Amino acid sequence: MKKWRNIWAALAVVWMAVIFAFSAKTAGESSKDSLLVGKMIGEIFVSDFESWTKERQDTFAEAIEYPVRKAAHATEYAILGFLLFQTIRSGTKTTLGKIRGFAWGIGTCYAAGDEFHQLFVPGRGAMITDVLIDSGGVLAGVAVAALTWRLWNRKKKEKTWK
């Protein structure tokens, strides 16, 4: 059990470092990344995207930049929520509700700290809406982890009764 807690904790810390690295990018670098993802989305989901002019492709990428950024926030924090839940669950015998609460609280505090960190990055700023999006992402990751854990345990119990 302790081995798994250490593995989950290491993964959570590494993921926190990844989030920190994304947040340390200047506004220009971050925007460039979002536009690149926007173009990739166009290539995947728009059938004739490659035949568009460069200007039209850029306009498309710019139009979806904001939702791409916010989806990235939610996704990176959902992963963190999942990892935090697993770390706490594997290191304690407390109730599932407390595990969910602790994981969500830690993830939300990290999100707030990360937004504060962005105050010191050129062109970036701290936004309460990003903390709320991040917190929602953590909650989604925690919910997926808790559901997965319950289903896994139910399946294990079924096998022992057969």
Give the CA angle between residues 7, 108, 138 to the nearest 5°: 60
Residue range 87-121, pLDDT digits in tens: 999 988 889 999 999 999 999 999 999 999 999 99
CA 151 – CA 162 distance, rounded (Å):
17
Look at residue 109 in the predicted model and tell me its pLDDT: 98
Give yes or no for residue 64 having a pLDDT over 90: yes
Express each pLDDT in 118-153 by its tens digit: 999 999 999 999 999 999 999 999 999 999 998 988
Q: What is the pLDDT of residue 91?
A: 83
Q: What is the pLDDT of residue 137?
A: 98
In terms of DSSP H, where are the helices of the chain? 2-23, 27-45, 54-63, 65-90, 96-118, 128-161
pLDDT at 153: 81
pLDDT at 42 over 70: yes
pLDDT of 156 over the 80 cut: no
pLDDT at 75 over 70: yes
Give the C-alpha separation, 111 to 76, whole Å.
Answer: 10
Coil, strand or helix: which one is 91? coil
User: Which tokens in the block code for residue 50?
Assistant: 């490659």
Query: What's residue 69's pLDDT?
Result: 92
CB atoms closer than 10 angstroms to residue 22:
15
Q: How far is CA 10 from CA 6, 54, 63, 96, in A?
A: 6, 43, 37, 21
DSSP annotation of 93 reads -
pLDDT value at 83 more than 80: yes
For residue 160, what pLDDT is reported? 57
pLDDT in tens, 15-36: 999 999 999 999 999 999 999 9
Average pLDDT, the chain: 93
Which one is predicted more confidently, 33 or 162? 33
Decide if 118 contacts 59 (C-beta within 8 A).
Answer: no
Q: Compute CA distances 118 → 20, 45, 115, whole Å.
A: 9, 32, 5
